[in-house]
Amino acid sequence: MWTELKAPSLAEFEAMAHEAFERLPDRFRTMCEGVVIRVDDFPTEEVLDELEAESEFDLLGLFQGTGLPFQSQGDVARMPNMIWLYRRPILDYWAEHEETLGHIVRHVLIHEIGHHFGLSDGDMAAIEAAAD
C-alpha cells in the first residue's frame, strides 16, 4: 500500500491547510475574518531576498499584511492579509522530523496567524494545544 503514496499536490496541500484552519478554536477563527490562506511550492525570490533567507527551504510559511495590532479604522484600502504555506519546504521538514504532516501544517498555520494577531510564542502554543 505504501508504494502507492505520493506527496500531496498544491491543491491537496491547500485543502489540508483549510481543514487544519477549520479545526482551530472558534473564537480564534472568528478573529481571522478576511485572512486569505494560500499555498505555493516556494516563496518568491523577492520574499527570500527581503528576509535574507539562505535557501528557498528556509521558510515554511509567511504572514503578509498588516497585523491586527497595527490596523485602525482610518486605514486606506490595502491588499488582504495573507498567510502563505510553502509546500516543498514543509515536505522537506516533514521528511527530517518525527511529526505528522498534519501537525506540521497546523503548527505553521497557527504560527503565521499568530503574526496577524501579534501573539507571543506562549499564546500560539496554547492555541495549538487547544486545537489538539
- Which CATH number fits the domain that encloses residue 24? 3.30.2010.20
Q: What is the pairing mode between strands 36-40 and 82-86? A: parallel
CB 65 within 8 A of CB 81: yes
Look at residue 95 and tell me if it is in a domain. yes
Residues contacting residue 79 through CB under 8 Å, at least 6 positions apart: 64, 65
Q: What is the pairing mode between strands 61-64 and 82-86? A: antiparallel
Look at residue 2 and tell me if it is in a domain. no
Count of domains in the chain?
Answer: 1
Q: Minimal CA–CA distance to 112: which of 45, 32, 46, 49?
A: 32
pLDDT tens per residue across span 17-70: 999 999 888 877 887 878 899 999 999 999 999 999 999 999 999 988 865 545
Look at residue 3 and tell me if it is in a domain. no
Look at residue 4 and tell me if it is in a domain. no
pLDDT tens per residue across span 70-123: 555 565 556 678 899 999 999 999 999 999 999 999 999 988 888 777 778 888
pTM of the entire structure? 0.83
DSSP for residue 96: H
* Run of H or E including 89: helix 87-96
Look at residue 103 and tell me if it is in a domain. yes
Look at residue 109 and tell me if it is in a domain. yes
Number of residues written out for the chain: 132
Look at residue 121 and tell me if it is in a domain. yes
Give the structural domain span for 42. Answer: 10-67+78-131
Look at residue 1 and tell me if it is in a domain. no
